[in-house]
Structure 1
C-alpha cells in the first residue's frame, strides 16, 4: 500500500476542535474522497478519548458501495479467527465500513435523524444538496466532530458555479430556462471565511482557498478543570447550591448547559406558584435542549402534585425527546416503572410507537396525556398544558390552548425551521408571561465556527433588525429600486423565451452586499409566516424571480448603504405555449413552476391563459417599525406603475454585466494553485426604475394567508377575489411550485385570453395553511394600458361565477368564517356598482309557493315564531347576495345576520358572539329583514297583476281646428275617391265565375217545389264538379285504350286472313 505523509495542519485542526468541543468542516474534492473519510475518521478517533465516533452518511440514491455491515463484520471476524487478516493488503475503507457504526440516510429521509447526535457527518452527491438539507445534517454533529462534504473531480473550483443542481429543475419554466448558480458561488466563497474549514483534494492536499489555516497552531493541553468555561463553572456552582433543595436539585443535575438549567428553574418557579393563566415561554434555536427542559419540568410538576398534565405537539412522533427526559426526571426522582407509573404507547404505525399517555400512581392518581392541538375543548380539567414546537402549530389553535391553567411553551424562533413572526411577533408579544431563552447549544461549545458560518451563509440568525433613526419619510417621497442582479435583456411578450441573467451582485459575497442581504432577510423573517434556507437559494438561482426595495430619499453625499423600508419579491410567470398546456391537461400533469398559469389553466380547462405573461408577488415585507404607515401600499403602487410602463427607460443601452466566468482551459491554472476571491469589478447594486426597461406583463398575482386585515389591503390595491377552494390543503411557503386545484366546472370558452388586457381580475384560491391556520389565497389583477378599453365585462363574468360558488360553499368548509369576513369577500367596490335585475313573478313562484309567502307575511306581522320560516331563509339569502332583489337595502348588521343564518346555517346563539349583539336585538333585526322582503315580494306580485290588466287610455279633449261642415265635406271627398277606385277595380275583374245559373222559369219551378219553409234549395247547374271533372278524363282514357287494343286485334286478324 502506498503511504503518504498527511499535512499536519489537518491533524491540528481536528485535535483543536476536540479540545474546544467545536466542529470542523472538510470539503474533499475528487472522486476518491470517500477513501480519505477513513483517514479523517481515524484521526478523530485518536483525538477523542471516548468511544469510536458514529457516522452519519447521507446520499441521494446510490451509495457506491455495499452497506451490509453485518456481512462485512462476519467476514472480518472470520479472517481474524483464521489469522488471515492483513491490514496492509486489505482495503482500509472496507475495514472502516465493517468496524464503524454508520447510519446511512437518503437525503429525502433526513427528517428522521432530527434529534440524533453523531460524531461525523459525510455528505456526498453535492448536486442533490439543498440549504435545508445542509442545515439539518450539520446540526446533528456534536462538538469536536467532523462535517465532510464530498465533491467530484474537477479542474477548477469555479466549476461549482455552473454545476447543475437537482433543485434547478424546479426553477426552470418554459419561458425561463437559464439558471445561474449564484448560491454555489456564494457557498464556495464563504468557505474561505470559516476558520474551522479546510478545502482539500482526494490526496489530502490543502487548496489555496483555505490559506487562513496556514498559521494554525495546536492548543496547549489543558486539565479538565481548565477546559471548563465560565458558563460550565457557573452551572457546577448552581448544581451544588441546589443539592439540598429537592426535587429541584436532582432535576437540575440532569441539565447539560447553564441556559437549560435556568430554563428548568424558570419552569419550576411557575409550577411552585400554582397561579392560573400564567404562561412560561422558552425560545431558542434548534439543538438548545428545549424539549429536554420541558420533559424535566413535567417531571417536576408531577413531583409537585399536579394531577392533569396535557402535552401537545404537531405529532406524537415529535415528543420522543420530551418523554425521554420525563422518564430521566422520574429516574432522578427515584420513580420506578410499573411500580410508580406506567407508559402507554400509540398503536398507530404512523406514530412509530410514540408515548401518548403516562399514568402515575405513586401518591395519588396523576396523568400525563398527549392531545392533538385541535382538541382544546378537552382541557376543562387541565392544571398544566405543555406546548412543544408551538411555532409549528396553527396560531389560532395555540391561542385556543391558552386558558385558566399553567402553560409551558417552547418554540424555535430561528434556524432552518424558524417561523419568524408567526409565533414570536403574533403571540408571545401579546401575553403577559415569564420568558426564558437558551443560547448555549447542547451538542457543542459556544462560539462554534461552523455554526457561525452556517448562520451567515443561510441567513439563519438575522432576527436583530436595526432600528431606523432617520425618521419617517413620506411614502410618496420613497423610490423603488430593483437590484441589478436581476437585469438582463428584456424579453417582449411573444419572443423566444430565453435570456441570460448575470450573477447577482447581491450574492457575490462582497462585504457591503452581505450587509444588505442580511437586512433583506431580516425583513423576511420579521414580516412573513415561514422562512426556510431553500427560499434563499430560490431567490438567488431562480431565473424568474426579481427583487425590489423601497428606500427613503438618499442624499447625494451619503456613502453608506441606505435603510430598507420595504422589499417585494416578484416571480415572472406565464408565456407557456398552447401545445404544452394541452399536452399537460390531457395527461393531468403539470410542469414545475408557473403556479398561477398552470393552476388557472387546469381549473378552467383553458389552454390560452398560460400564454399570458404575469408577475406573482411572492413576498412583500415592511420594516417592523414602519408597518401600517403606507409604505407597503406605496411599494405595490410603484411596482404596478413600473410594469404598466409608466417609468420609461431613459438609457440608450441597458446596463449589463459583461463579466463572465472564464473556462478552465483558458485560465490554465491547476487546482492547487487556483485562488478564489470575490469579484471586484461589480456592477451597481441598485438601479432606479427608469434605468431598467420593464418586462411587459398582463397581470399581477399574489399569494397570502387570508385574514381580514390582509384581504382589506389587497382589495384596496385593486385585487378582486374570484375563486375559493373548499377542501383544506397543506399550505406551502411562498414560492412553492405546487398549485392548488379544485373541482370547479370550467366555464371559460376557448380563446378567452387571446387578446392582451382582455380581462381584469381572475382568481382567488383559498386552501388551509397548516402553519398559521389561515387560508392561502391567490388573487390576480390586470395591468391595463391607458388606451385600452374597459374590460369590466370579463371581470363581471368571473366575479358572478365566484360569488355564486362561494355562496353555495358557505355552509361547508367556509362555515367557520366570521360573517364579517364572508361579507368582506362578497362585497367588492373594485367591481363597481352591480346592475340590479328585477325579480320577476315567475322566478318568485319558482322559489316559493303561495303558502310560503303567507308564512312570511304572518311572521312579518309577529303572528308566528321564526322557526316557521327557517326553511325559506337560505333561498332568500342566496337571491339577496346575488343581487336579484333589486334595490333592497340592508344594513351591515342585517346583512351579516342574513348571511350567518341563511348561508352558514348558524344559530342565533353563535351569531350573538360573532356579531356581538344580544339575541333579542338580533331577532328584531331579523324581523325587519323579513318585513322588507315581504314588502318587495308583494310589489313584485302587484306589478305582475297590473301588467296583465287592460290598459286604460286617457282621452284628451282638445278643440278641433276645422268646422263640422268642412270636416264632413273632406270626409265625403275621401269616400267618393275611394268608391271610384273600388268600382274601377270591379269593372276590370273577370266575374264570370260568380254568375248565377238558371232563368226565371227554373227558379220559379224550384221555389214552388221547395215550399215556403225550405231553408236550402238546389238548382241544376251545367258546370261539373271538380271530382267528376277529374274522373271523366280517366274514363275517357280507359275507353280510348280499349278501342286501341280492339283495333290492334282487328288488324292482326285481317293480316292472318
Structure 2
C-alpha cells in the first residue's frame, strides 16, 4: 500500500465514523511535501478546504506561518498540513489540531522520527536562556511526542525516505451515530429560528439556559471541552438578545477567540431579519431593533461597566480606536473565561446579567481552574446562577482518536489528584521533594499531577509550558507529596549569574531572555550589577484546591529557601499585584523592590517584583532596590500609579523593607500639626504629608521597625489607622487625587468631611514621628483645648 492508497483509506474511514485521522510523513522535507500533495489528492480534499502551516511559501493551499497558527482557532478545515521541520512549537500543534473537521486529516510533516528529538530547532533556541546554551536544552518533549505517535490509535506513519508505511493507523470504527436533533425547550422565549441554528441537543439546551440573560440578576456558566460548540451557543444567544434590543458586550482574551461568537450572532440576526447596516466592522453587529453585539478587550470591558458607558474597543489586535456611546451593556458574555485572572472575572459581576464560557480541556485554558478559583465568588454574588455542560462534539464523533491523542501528547487533560486522595494532607504529613525532568518523564502519573496542578492554578499555562517543564535547562520543580500524591508544586527559574558582557548589553537595552527580574532591575531601574548575583524566580506556585489555607504553600517556599540557602543569592517573584498575593509573599519573607508603572494588558493589574535574599550579595541587592523603590514611591504614586488600587498600594508599601525617616523641617511640622490639630491646610506643605504617609506605610522610624500597616488595618500600635483612613492617605496624599473624587470613593458625605478626616488621620502620625520635636510640642500645645 502506497501513500495515496493509505490516505484514501484513512479519509474513507474517518468520514464513515465522523472521526479524524493523523498522517505522519517523516523524513526529508521536500519529499514530505510532495507526499502531502499526493495524499490530499488521493483523499479528495478540495484545495480550498486545506490549510498548510509552514515557514515556507508558494503552496496552492491557504497558508499560515507557524507563529500565526492561532488564526485557525475557531475555524474548521477538511485537512490541515503542519510542517514541523522549521519553527515547530507545542502551541502551534495545539492550535492546528482543533481546526480539523470530522472526516478530515491532520498531516504532520516531520524529520525522521528516530532523529527528530535530537534535532535543534527554533523552539530550542527559546529554551536556551543565558547563561545556558543550546547544548543544555533537553530533548524529552519531542521524544515523548514521537512515542505517542508510534503508539496511539488513528495515527498513520509513513517513512517518505524509504517509501514505507510503518503504521497504517486504521481502526475499522463503527459508522457514526447521528446527533440527537436539537429542539427548543418548552415555553422558549427565543424564536424557533434561533433554535434552528443549533447543531446538537446539547447546544440547544445551552441556548435555552442563556435565555435567562434576558433579565437582570442572572448568570450562566457554560463549560465544555474544545469543539463542543460553546462559542457558537454564545453567538446564537447574543444574536437573539440583540434582536430583542439588548446591548450585548462580548469579551475574550483576544478577538480571534471570540470571532465564532460574532459569526454565529450575525447569522442569527440575519435569519431573523433584524440586521442593520454596520459597515465593515466585524466586531460590532447592529440590529434594527436597537440592539447590538459588540467586542471589547477584558480591561476595556471592565472600564465600560465601571463608567456606566460604552467603550468601543478593538482588543489590542490591531490598535484601532473606536467611538463611544453613553449607554451601558445589558448583558456581558465572557468567552474563554478560564484564560482570565480571577480579579478580572470578578469585575464582570457588576454587569446586569453575565455569561461565562470556558474550555474544560484544551488549548485555550482550564475550566476546572476557573471553577475552583472563581466559582466561590460567583456563588457569593447576588446572581441566580445556572450551570450548563456541553459534552457532545459538534465537528466530530465522541471518542475521536485525534482528540484523545492531542490530550495525551500535550497533556491538555492533565489534572491534579482527585480530592479524596489528598484531603487529609497536613504540614506534618507532607514530604518535600525535588524532581528532575527525567523523574517526570519516567513517571506519567507524576508528570500529569504536576502539570495538572500548574494548569489548574494559573490561567496562562499552555502547551509550550509542558516542553519548558521537560527541556528548559533553567527550570526546576519542587513539590510537596502526601502519600505519594502531589499537593503543592513550585516551578522555579534560575536567573542572573550573567557575565559582564551580557550585563552590559542588558544595561544598554538589549533583552536577555529568561532573566525577568535581572532585566527589570538592570534595564529599567539602571542597576548594571543587578544581573551578577544568582537567584531563582518562582514562576508558578500552586496548592491543591482541596487542601488550601493549611499553610502548605508557605511550607513549600520555606523548604525551598532552606535548600537553596548558600547555593544562590536570592529567591524572587514577579506577578500581577493583588492585596492577597502581596500579603502572602510578604508573610513568606519577600520584600517589594518594584511596582510596574503600566498595567498588564490581559489582567489589568500592575506587576510587583519581590526579593527574598539568601546571601550577603543578595541582601545588598534587595536592600538597595528596596531603598530606591521607597525613594521613587512618592513620585510614581502621584503620576503613573495614580489609579492603582489603594489596597495594592498599602500592601506593596508594607512589604518594602526600607524604613523612612520623614525628616520634616520646623516649618513643615507647623503646617502638619496645624492641619491635624488646628485650622491649618494640607495644601500648604503636601510634600511633608507625603513623607509622613510613606513613613507610616513602610515602617517609619528610620530603623528596622515593622510597618504600622497590616493586611486589613494596622498592627495595634499607637500609630494605628483604620482601613478607611489608610485608603484616604493613599488616595489623597500619595496619589494626589481630587478631593471630590476621594470623598465619593470613600463614602464621605462632603469634601469638607473628607478634609477633616485627613487631619484626624494624621494626628497619630504627628504624635509618633514628631512627639519629641520641640516645634511639634509647642505647636500642638496651641490647640490643646481641642484635644
Q: Same fold (TM over 0.5)?
A: yes
Say yes or no: does 1:581 pair with 2:503.
yes
Q: How many equivalent pairs are there? A: 728
Contact 1:643 1:697 in 2 (8 A): yes
Secondary structure of the residue aligned to 1:121 is strand
Contact 1:393 1:772 in 2 (8 A): yes
Contact 2:433 2:480 in 1 (8 A): yes
Residue 122 (structure 2) aligns with: 166
1:577 to partner: Cα distance: 1.2
1:308 to partner: Cα distance: 3.9
Secondary structure of the residue aligned to 1:287 is coil
Secondary structure of the residue aligned to 2:222 is strand
Q: How far apart are the structure 2 equivalents of 1:55 and 1:819?
A: 53
Residue 179 (structure 1) aligns with: 137
1:289-304 correspondence runs (5 A): 289-302=229-242
C-alpha root-mean-square deviation of aligned residues, in Å? 3.6
Say yes or no: does 1:878 pair with 2:691.
yes
Secondary structure of the residue aligned to 2:372 is coil
Residue 525 (structure 1) aligns with: 455
1:412 to partner: Cα distance: 3.0
Residue 282 (structure 2) aligns with: 354
Residue 611 (structure 1) aligns with: 532
Say yes or no: does 1:375 pair with 2:304.
yes
Q: Please point out which of 506, 511, 520 is paired with 2:440.
A: 506
Q: 1:873 to 1:448 in 2, by over 3 A?
A: same
The structure with more radius of gyration: 1
Q: How far apart are the structure 1 equivalents of 2:777 and 2:353?
A: 67
Which digits, 9 at most, give the CA deviation of each residue in 1:295-324, with x for residues without a partner?
221333355x44444444455565543233
Residue 59 (structure 1) aligns with: 54
Contact 1:194 1:450 in 2 (8 A): no
1:816-965 correspondence runs (5 A): 816-828=643-655, 834=659, 836=661, 839=664, 843-845=665-667, 853=670, 859=675, 864=679, 868-882=681-695, 890-893=719-722, 894-906=725-737, 925-929=757-761, 940=773, 942=775
1:441 to partner: Cα distance: 2.6
1:189-588 correspondence runs (5 A): 189-202=147-160, 205-208=163-166, 210=167, 213=169, 216=170, 218=172, 227-229=176-178, 232=179, 234-235=180-181, 238=183, 248-268=191-211, 270=212, 274-302=214-242, 305-314=244-253, 319-333=258-272, 335=273, 340-345=274-279, 353-361=281-289, 365-370=290-295, 372-373=300-301, 374-376=303-305, 377-378=308-309, 382-392=329-339, 395-403=342-350, 405-419=352-366, 423-431=370-378, 432-463=384-415, 465-469=417-421, 471-485=423-437, 504-508=438-442, 513-552=443-482, 554=483, 562-586=484-508, 588=509
Secondary structure of the residue aligned to 2:354 is strand
Q: How far apart are the structure 2 equivalents of 1:811 and 1:595?
A: 26
1:127 to partner: Cα distance: 3.8
Contact 2:249 2:294 in 1 (8 A): yes
Residue 381 (structure 2) aligns with: none
1:25 to partner: Cα distance: 0.6
Say yes or no: does 1:601 pair with 2:522.
yes
- The gaps in structure 1 that reach 5 residues or longer are 68-96, 347-352, 486-503, 555-561, 646-695, 729-767, 946-1057
Residue 324 (structure 2) aligns with: none
Secondary structure of the residue aligned to 2:549 is coil
Secondary structure of the residue aligned to 1:192 is helix
Return 599-608 or 280-289, whichever deviates more: 599-608
Contact 1:36 1:204 in 2 (8 A): no
Secondary structure of the residue aligned to 2:419 is coil
Q: How far apart are the structure 1 equivalents of 2:425 and 2:246?
A: 57
Secondary structure of the residue aligned to 2:80 is strand
Residue 783 (structure 1) aligns with: 614
Q: How far apart are the structure 2 equivalents of 1:144 and 1:820?
A: 54
Contact 1:700 1:780 in 2 (8 A): yes
Say yes or no: does 1:800 pair with 2:612.
no
1:810 to partner: Cα distance: 1.4
Which digits, 9 at most, give the CA deviation of each residue in 1:360-410, with x for residues without a partner?
14xxx4444555413112276643333334445565454334346332332
Residue 713 (structure 1) aligns with: 584
Secondary structure of the residue aligned to 1:815 is coil
Which digits, 9 at most, give the CA deviation of each residue in 1:626-658, with x for residues without a partner?
11101111111111111126xxxxxxxxxxxxx
Contact 1:879 1:885 in 2 (8 A): no
Q: 1:421 to 1:922 in 2, by over 3 A?
A: farther
Which digits, 9 at most, give the CA deviation of each residue in 1:281-340, with x for residues without a partner?
22223332223212221333355x44444444455565543233223223443x1xxxx5
Say yes or no: does 1:29 pair with 2:26.
yes
Residue 37 (structure 2) aligns with: 38
Say yes or no: does 1:635 pair with 2:556.
yes
1:797 to partner: Cα distance: 3.9
Q: 1:624 to 1:815 in 2, by over 3 A?
A: same
Contact 1:567 1:621 in 2 (8 A): yes
Contact 1:282 1:411 in 2 (8 A): yes
Q: How far apart are the structure 1 equivalents of 2:51 and 2:417?
A: 36
In the superposition, the TM-score normalised over structure 1's length comes to 0.63
1:190 to partner: Cα distance: 0.6
Q: How far apart are the structure 2 equivalents of 1:481 and 1:824?
A: 32
Which digits, 9 at most, give the CA deviation of each residue in 1:981-1012, with x for residues without a partner?
xxxxxxxxxxxxxxxxxxxxxxxxxxxxxxxx
Secondary structure of the residue aligned to 1:25 is strand
Which digits, 9 at most, give the CA deviation of each residue in 1:586-605, with x for residues without a partner?
4x313322222333232454
Contact 1:193 1:453 in 2 (8 A): no
Residue 104 (structure 2) aligns with: 145
1:609 to partner: Cα distance: 3.5
Q: How far apart are the structure 2 equivalents of 1:857 and 1:219?
A: 86
Which structure dedicates a bigger proportion of its chain to strand? 2
Contact 1:282 1:436 in 2 (8 A): yes
Q: How far apart are the structure 2 equivalents of 1:938 and 1:384?
A: 56
- The gaps in structure 2 that reach 5 residues or longer are 311-326, 379-383, 709-717, 779-787
1:618-657 correspondence runs (5 A): 618-644=539-565
Q: How far apart are the structure 2 equivalents of 1:480 and 1:342?
A: 62
Q: 1:470 to 1:820 in 2, by over 3 A?
A: closer
Contact 2:576 2:608 in 1 (8 A): yes
Contact 2:140 2:471 in 1 (8 A): yes
Q: How far apart are the structure 2 equivalents of 1:275 and 1:246?
A: 11
Secondary structure of the residue aligned to 2:115 is helix
Q: How far apart are the structure 1 equivalents of 2:688 and 2:652?
A: 20
Contact 1:283 1:437 in 2 (8 A): yes
1:56 to partner: Cα distance: 0.7
Contact 1:392 1:771 in 2 (8 A): no
Q: 1:330 to 1:43 in 2, by over 3 A?
A: same
Secondary structure of the residue aligned to 1:408 is strand
Contact 1:235 1:261 in 2 (8 A): no
Which digits, 9 at most, give the CA deviation of each residue in 1:430-473, with x for residues without a partner?
32411212222332121111111101111112357511346534
Q: 1:462 to 1:307 in 2, by over 3 A?
A: same
Which digits, 9 at most, give the CA deviation of each residue in 1:829-851, with x for residues without a partner?
866xx475764xxx344x58xxx
1:143 to partner: Cα distance: 0.9
Q: How far apart are the structure 2 equivalents of 1:630 and 1:918?
A: 42
Q: 1:712 to 1:192 in 2, by over 3 A?
A: same
Return 399-408 or 629-638, whichever deviates more: 399-408
1:123 to partner: Cα distance: 1.5
